[in-house]
A and B are shown apart, each in its own frame.
Chain A
Amino acid sequence: MNPLATESVRPRETARREQAENIYLPRIAVLDRVVQEIQDVKTFYWHFDDPGEQRAFKRFLPGQFAEVSLFGVGEFPTSLPPSPTEEETFFTVRHVGSCTSALHQLRPGDKFAVRGPYGNGFPMEDYHGKNLVFVAGGIGLIPLRSAIVYALANRKQYERIQIFHGAKTPKELMYVPNLREWEQTPGVECHLTVDRSADSWSGNVGVVGSLFKKPGVQVPVENTVAFVCGPPIMFRFVIKDLLGMGFQERNIVSTLERYMKCGVGKCGHCCIGVAYVCVDGPVFTYEQIKKLGEDI
């Protein structure tokens, strides 16, 4: 039995694919439009050339990922920020290496290729009836956006929903139109913070964890799942804060990043501890992450 299977995040029982299917074969996608989110980070709206592929792909779960092909440069894994409840499919990608830089150079109408969705995803149905606390540092909001939008689309299934998002500066807050919307949405507590303020900023200044202690903020601990995503240093401090508040390790979930070359548990690049991140993850509870024994 899978030692990770006993806890709250199970490796998803992926339906065995058709025999004839080539797991490494990407499908042609067309870029529709590009939105600059923050410096070096853009959102790429795209769709599959083949409407059948698009329909099949749309059955993805929050927290899953896809492999993006830029032919001649390579292929890279990336989170799926849209919720399956939304109409459009898109990626939000920071320009860091050769593949992401090639993606950033594409223009609307250009073709590339995508395969997926892969990974287990957040078990959103298991969280029915619970409070959801989302804690995102910087572009850590990309993988969490999917779960947030999904939870809001299925609002009745969840109790309290809290969103904590921190960035280095006000200019680096992610998905600003979404943040504004969530701030206005009744029944959603959305708290923002920046490490360094700017003139126009009237909100909180400090690390994400400082929001937990802000007057008027009360983070529910009982019957709550905390989603934490962000840079390693932020992750470590937020985990410390949450555990200090009384959160159980198994009620904290995150998604791990590794350079999965294949996404289907074969190439070995994302194998840590007893898990292949691409098939057993990328979503793990903090309890599992600790057992995997490698840096987030």
Chain B
Amino acid sequence: MKARILDRADALKIVDLLRQQGYEVIAPFRGRGRDTFFETVTDQNRDQVQLHLPNPYYPPKRYVFPHIERLLTVKRDNGDIRIQPSYEEPKRAIFGIRSCDVAGIYHLDRFYLGRDFKDIYYENHRKNLFLVNFVCSDPANDIGDECFCVCADTGPAARDHFDLQLMDLGDEFMAVAGTRAGEALFTNPIFKKATEAHVAKRHAILDQVRKAFKTTTSWFSATVRYVSQGEILDKTWEEIGNRCLECGGCTYVCPACTCFTVSDRQVGPNEIERVRMWDSCGLGGFTRMAGGFNPRRAVHDRRNRRFFRKLAHYFIQRELSMACVGCGRCAAVCHGDIGMPSVVEMIRRATAEVEKRESVSH
């Protein structure tokens, strides 16, 4: 991939360039206190865009898979029904999306656009989306206590699936083109040639950053095997379930969760709209059917489902991508401390205790 160098002060000029090209540019901002969020860049807030800051809890997933999205409008007229699908095809760029979230969007691509059925609503949001990935290089600001992208192999620097990647080299920024659209920006004079020294510096910084991750780890490999082979005892799922407050928070902050529910709502005397909205497998009503039968009643069944869906080898292979990108948001928001890293740890410890894994006898 081609790399270029730009002045530190010129980084925000990329935002301007994209806006000039007609993109609605989304970028991270710092609120009051610790709070950080993604927001559309305007002339007024353009100077407040920040790159080194904690990754927002509310993931950028909503720009490809909105929290609530209209699918159809249906009008009734004298017994006749007219169905009008609503298509939105925004031209958007996300500036400063972290590597974990880039992997999250890639996972959504695999899920919504892969296999037999293609989701046209997702595709419409995705097809004009331009991703400017920002490499986490400042451990103090960029890397949270819960980050574990190094375990999920998605960061700190994404290897692909972005259009442009920015990395802070200290005095300068390095820009890497991931697609032709990204490379096209390099014609602008703010981009200068990169030297071997720049590439060496990138490697040196990444080396340091990898060692600067905090205490959260998630040893997936053993857990994926245990989950896929069904070696986890019900007792372990129950322990995990007992700690679940059933808030659904983990699924709402997850950049790789895909579930939604569909609902009709009245918007006029003879007009209804059908919307889809994020849903959570952690909530009790998720699998309830008409008449009240619910095949998944216990909390631990639902926890089992969420982690099985994310960790089972079969699904990883089906999407060729894992539904956990190591962003650490679930670990940060969970009041019961059963975010992905804790669950992986609990499973690993519990399974290690199972005697049958011990083959030595006297």
Contact = CB atoms under 8 A, between A and B. Distances in A.
Interface of A: 2-3, 14, 16-17, 19-26, 28, 71-76, 96-100, 109-113, 257-259, 261-262, 264-269, 271-274, 279, 293-296
19 contacts: A2-B318, A14-B117, A16-B116, A17-B118, A21-B120, A22-B120, A22-B121, A23-B119, A24-B276, A25-B72, A71-B76, A73-B264, A99-B290, A261-B261, A267-B260, A267-B261, A269-B279, A274-B315, A279-B117
Given A21-B120, A113-B81, A274-B312, A71 B264 contact: yes
Given A25-B83, A265-B116, A75 B291 contact: no
A96 B274 CA distance: 22
Contact of A14 (B72, B116, B309, B312): B116
Nearest to B80: A111
Nearest to A256: B295
A24 B72 contact: yes
A293 B304 CA distance: 11
A74 B264 contact: yes
Nearest to A94: B291
Q: Which 10 A-B pairs have the closest CB atoms?
A: A97-B290, A268-B259, A96-B291, A264-B117, A14-B116, A96-B290, A274-B314, A295-B295, A71-B74, A72-B272
A31 to B, nearest CB: 11
B287 interface: yes
A279 B117 CA distance: 10
Contacts of B112: 266
A113 B261 contact: no
B117 A23 contact: yes
Interface centre among B85, B274, B281 (most CB of A within 10 A): B274
Given A22-B120, A24-B71, A3 B261 contact: no
Interface of B: 71-72, 74, 76, 79-81, 83, 85, 111-112, 115-121, 230, 258-264, 266, 272, 274, 276, 279, 281, 286-291, 295-296, 301, 305, 308-309, 312, 314-315, 318
B288 A259 contact: yes
Given A26-B83, A71-B264, A271-B305, A259 B117 contact: no
A265 B116 CA distance: 9
Chain A interface SS verdict (over half): loop
Q: Which of A28, A71, A264, A267 has the most CB of B within 10 A?
A: A71
Contact of B85 (A25, A111, A296): A25
B79, B120, B263, B312 pick with most chain A CB within 10 angstroms: B120
Contacts of A98: 290
A142 B55 CA distance: 52
A266 B120 contact: no
Contacts of B263: 74
B115 A265 contact: yes
Contacts of B81: 28, 71, 111-113
Contacts of A274: 312, 314-315
Contact of B260 (A16, A28, A261, A272): A261
Given A73-B264, A111-B81, A294-B295, A269 B120 contact: no
Contacts of A269: 259, 261, 279, 286-287
B272 A259 contact: no
Nearest to B119: A266
A294 B296 contact: yes
Contacts, number: 125
Given A25-B72, A72-B266, A96-B291, A3 B314 contact: yes
Nearest to B308: A273
Contacts of A264: 116-117
A129 B260 CA distance: 43
A288 B260 CA distance: 26
B262 A261 contact: yes
B258 A268 contact: yes
A110 to B, nearest CB: 7
A5 B258 CA distance: 24
B289 A258 contact: yes
Contacts of B287: 258-259, 269
B72 A110 contact: no
A52 B220 CA distance: 50
A104 to B, nearest CB: 12
A261 B230 CA distance: 28
Contacts of A22: 85, 120-121
Contacts of A28: 81, 83
Given A74-B263, A258-B287, A271 B309 contact: yes
Given A24-B71, A110-B79, A111-B79, A265 B117 contact: yes
A97 B262 contact: no
A293 B237 CA distance: 14
Contacts of B74: 71-72
Contacts of B295: 258, 272, 294-296
Contacts of A259: 287-290
A40 B305 CA distance: 34
Most chain A Cβ neighbours within 10 Å, of B85, B117, B263, B309: B117
Contacts of A17: 116-118
A28 B120 CA distance: 20
B44 to A, nearest CB: 37
A268 B279 contact: yes
Contacts of B262: 24, 74-75, 261-262, 267
Contacts of A24: 71-72, 85, 121, 262, 274, 276
Contacts of A100: 290
Nearest to B261: A261
Contacts of B115: 265, 279
A19 B264 contact: no
A274 B316 CA distance: 11
Contact of A113 (B83, B85, B260): B83
Given A28-B83, A266-B112, A269-B286, 17 more contacts: A23-B117, A25-B83, A71-B81, A97-B291, A100-B290, A259-B289, A259-B290, A266-B117, A266-B119, A266-B260, A267-B262, A268-B309, A269-B259, A269-B261, A269-B279, A271-B281, A296-B295
